[in-house]
Amino acid sequence: MCGIVGYIGGRQASGILLNSIKRLEYRGYDSAGIATTIGGKILLKKDIGKIDEVDKKVNFSELKGDIGIAHTRWATCGKVTKDNAHPHTGCGGKIAIIHNGIIENHSELHEELAEKGHRFVSETDTEVIVHLIEDNYKGDLKEAVLVALKKLEGSYALGVIHSDHNELVAARNDSPLIIGVGDGENFIASDVPAILDHTKKVIYLDNEEVAVLKKDGLEVFGLDGNKREKEVHEVDWDSTQAEKQGYKHFMLKEIFEQPQAVTEAIKGRVEDSNIMIKDEIGLSEEQIKKINRIIIVACGTSWHAGLVGEFMLEELVDIPVEVEYASEFRYRDPIVDENTLVIAISQSGETADTLAALREAKKKGAKVVSIVNVKGSSIDRESDSVIYTYAGPEIGVASTKAFTSQLVVLYLITVYFGKLKGLLPEEQVRNRVRDLRKLPLQMQSVLEEKDYIKLHAEKFYQRKNALYLGRGINYPIALEGALKLKEISYIHAEGYPAAEMKHGPIALIDKDMPVVFIATKDDRTYKKVLSNIEEVKSRGGEVIAIESKGDDDVKKIVDHNFYIPENSYILTPILAVIPLQLLAYYIADLKGCSVDNPRNLAKAVSVE
């Protein structure tokens, strides 16, 4: 994972790099470093810890020079040590590099280079790259990088500087890297938020491309050395979206942005009884009618969105749907043909497993429609078509607004398909659209209960375990609630279909086990869930219920109630998840956890 940035221009690089790399801290945060070049020398400072901690120790602002590279690390190869932190330099100390990715043949290369006399100081795979470039350097940095890259197997996003060159060389293969085009200055970064303060003009580097950035221009080449023309895109995010704007954490801000994010996901896509996603989905009416199977591939929270999508699509569109962990999909020879539609869901668009599943599906002849938040990401570019969630930058590692926006897009696809297949008459589509339009205000009303939810967090934050139970379309919400709690508060939490509890987890229930039920009135399994609640209560469990406003039946039998407004059954998850996000957030904050950057996690999991 890791975040990388690079700068070349007329200003002091270190300050710009420091601010930019902080914007990428969600990609990794166990060590950080910056290297600049000035007066024929490389200056470098790095250490372990989060960026601010490292800055306090080393004072990055002492690094002079107007060309530089910076890195925030999420360790993959080599422990968290100062030596393993990036940037890495070659033996002569004239070349410095930053790297995101994994070099699979690093052991062989290490051996070869060591035999030639290169001295290694770290345990990282990255260090072989800098020695390889050094080994092939004959006065032309780009040429040395090109020769080195041909020997590498694996993934990389690279930034390279040399103390004798007024240029910054960048390269990518299967790890994200963009170029920011400024006025008299240019940037590289793993992700757009890093450079939004300076430019909105972006070039998306493709795999096996190398860029040479100078102060006043840039060129892009293929690995064969031939020049390539690249399109400059204008991004529609602004820098304030990538700031906390008074919220204590990005996660809290993003939870509160959900009504707006959902509004953006709907905007321009619905009108009366029309769902206007034809161009985005890129499938003809005939192709849609021929779809006989849908496979949804995703990871983590996006996988939970897929599970909700399965309920939506099977219920209204009458097509069998399978939801696959992207990481498993390609290892079991899936049955896919030209009438299979594969939907890949990813906030970042860079999740390596989802990308690999997408490639496998395409290889087998399926059409891949993706639901993606980050424009220009790998999944965006490799899918046959993409429906963006338009949730804006999501910085908190725990996904929140991306999830509810993904559900809205899945709902739009469902209603669109249902209408085209003649399963949803005009009147029903109109009603479905009306239900959808109710959501932002309803979400707002749930968010207004934040203080009440916080009070409950105070009751539960010292517990060691929690169980989340739901049925039907709310079962994935139980999984999502449990994931949110465990990833940011480190409290062990399990999500289960409520009825499965009797087959094992019920043994865990005692007075110390809080059990969260999603028990909304409109759920067709409502009565059964009431029985499941009784089963927990009679074993001494403490029950917290997400329930429909005005429902006294649940209220009577549970210990704590969070109310959500009523909407149609298949939209309930979008409302039900909000109290669970807030509960997890407040518990983690009370525990003093690093909410936005939980331990061991990174926002975009770009390694398999």
Q: What is the DSSP string of 168-183?
A: EEEEEEBS--EEEE-S
- Judged by beta carbon, residue 325 or residue 452, the one nearer ligand M6R is 325
HEC-encoded secondary structure of 561-583? EEEECCCCHHHHHHHHHHHHHHH
Residue selected from 134, 135, 257, 487 as contacting ligand M6R according to rule CB under 6 A: 487
CB of 44 to ligand M6R, least distance (A): 32
Based on CB atoms, which residue is closest to ligand M6R, 273 or 354?
A: 354
Q: Cβ of residue 373: shortest distance to ligand M6R, in angstroms?
A: 8
- DSSP string for 86-144: SPEE-TTS-EEEEEES-BTTHHHHHHHHHHTTPPP-SS-SHHHHHHHHHHH-SS-HHHH
Dist CA 92 CA 573 (whole Å): 58
521 is catalytic: no
**Residue whose C-beta lies closest to ligand M6R:** 300
Closest approach of ligand M6R to the CB of residue 557, in Å: 31
Cβ neighbours, 10 Å, residue 267? 9
Reported as half-sphere exposure (CB side, CA atoms, 13 A), residue 365 has a value of: 7
Of 42-50, 255-263, 348-356, 466-474, the segment contacting ligand M6R by CB under 6 A is: 348-356
Residue in the structure block whose two tokens are 């200003």: 11
Among the listed ranges 76-84, 264-272, 341-349, 517-525, the one in contact with ligand M6R (CB under 6 A) is 341-349
Q: Choose which of 31, 175, 340, 348 interacts with ligand M6R (CB under 6 A).
A: 348
Tell me the closest approach of the beta carbon of residue 530 to ligand M6R, in angstroms: 30
Q: For ligand M6R, which is the closer residue by CB, 399 or 561?
A: 399
One residue of 354, 378, 383, 405 binding ligand M6R per CB under 6 A: 354
Helices (H) and strands (E) in the chain, counts: 20, 27
Residue 2 annotated among the catalytic residues of the structure: yes
**605 near ligand M6R, judged by CB under 6 A:** yes
Reported as type and span, the H/E element at residue 4 is strand 3-8
| DSSP 8-state assignment for residue 154 | B
- CA dist 39 and 510 (Å) reads 68
Strand ranges (E), 52-208: 67-73, 88-89, 95-100, 156-162, 168-173, 178-181, 186-189, 201-204
Neighbouring-strand partners of residue 321: 294
Amino acid at 137: Y
Amino acid in the structure at residue 69: I
Q: DSSP string spanning 597-608?
A: S-TT--SS----
Assess contact for 364 and 334: CB atoms under 8 A: yes
Question: Looking at the DSSP assignment, which residues form a beta bridge with residue 181?
Answer: 186
Site for ligand M6R in 378-397 (CB under 6 A): 397
**Which of the ranges 154-162, 173-181, 431-439, 599-607 carries the binding residues for ligand M6R, by CB under 6 A?**
599-607
CA atoms within 13 Å, Cβ hemisphere of 356: 20
**For the window 395-424, what string marks contact with ligand M6R as x by the rule CB under 6 A?**
--xxx-------------------------
Q: Considering the complex, state which of residue 509 and residue 602 has its C-beta at the smaller distance from ligand M6R.
A: 602
Rounded CA-CA distance 95/87 in Å is: 10
Applying the rule CB under 6 A, the residues between 446 and 485 that interact with ligand M6R are 483
Residues 262-321 that bind ligand M6R (CB under 6 A): 299-302
Size of residue set near ligand M6R by CB under 6 A: 17
Closer Cβ to ligand M6R, 132 or 584, answer by number? 584
For ligand M6R, the closer of residues 84 and 405 by Cβ is: 405
Q: Please identify, using beta-carbon distances, which residue of 301 and 520 lies nearer to ligand M6R.
A: 301
CB half-sphere exposure, 544, CA atoms < 13 A? 22
Give the range of 143-151, 347-355, 450-458, 505-513 binding ligand M6R by CB under 6 A. Answer: 347-355
Nearer to ligand M6R, 351 or 474 (CB): 351
Least spacing, CB of residue 265 vs ligand M6R, in Å: 15
- Within 8 A by CB and 6+ apart from 246, the residues are none
Q: Which is nearer to ligand M6R, 160 or 587 (CB)?
A: 587
Catalytic hit among 2, 46, 94, 367: 2
CA distances from 410 to 276, 399, 423, 571 (A): 14, 17, 17, 11
Closest distance of CB 364 from ligand M6R, Å: 21
CB of 303 to ligand M6R, least distance (A): 7
Q: How far is the CB of 483 from ligand M6R (least distance, A)?
A: 6
Evaluate whether 73 touches 58 at the Cβ level (below 8 Å): no
- Considering 142, 419, 484, 603, which one is annotated as catalytic? 603
The encoded tokens of residue 219 equal: 């060129």
Comparison of 413 and 605: residue with beta carbon closer to ligand M6R:
605
Least distance to ligand M6R, CB of residue 191, Å:
11
Partners of 296 in beta bridges: 323, 343
User: Two tokens at 513?
Assistant: 């086990």
Residue 197: name the closest of 25, 4, 22 by CA.
22
Q: How far is the CB of 305 from ligand M6R (least distance, A)?
A: 8
Which residues participate in catalysis according to the annotation? 2, 603
Residue ranges that bind ligand M6R, judged by CB under 6 A: 299-302, 346-348, 351, 354, 397-399, 483, 487, 601, 604-605
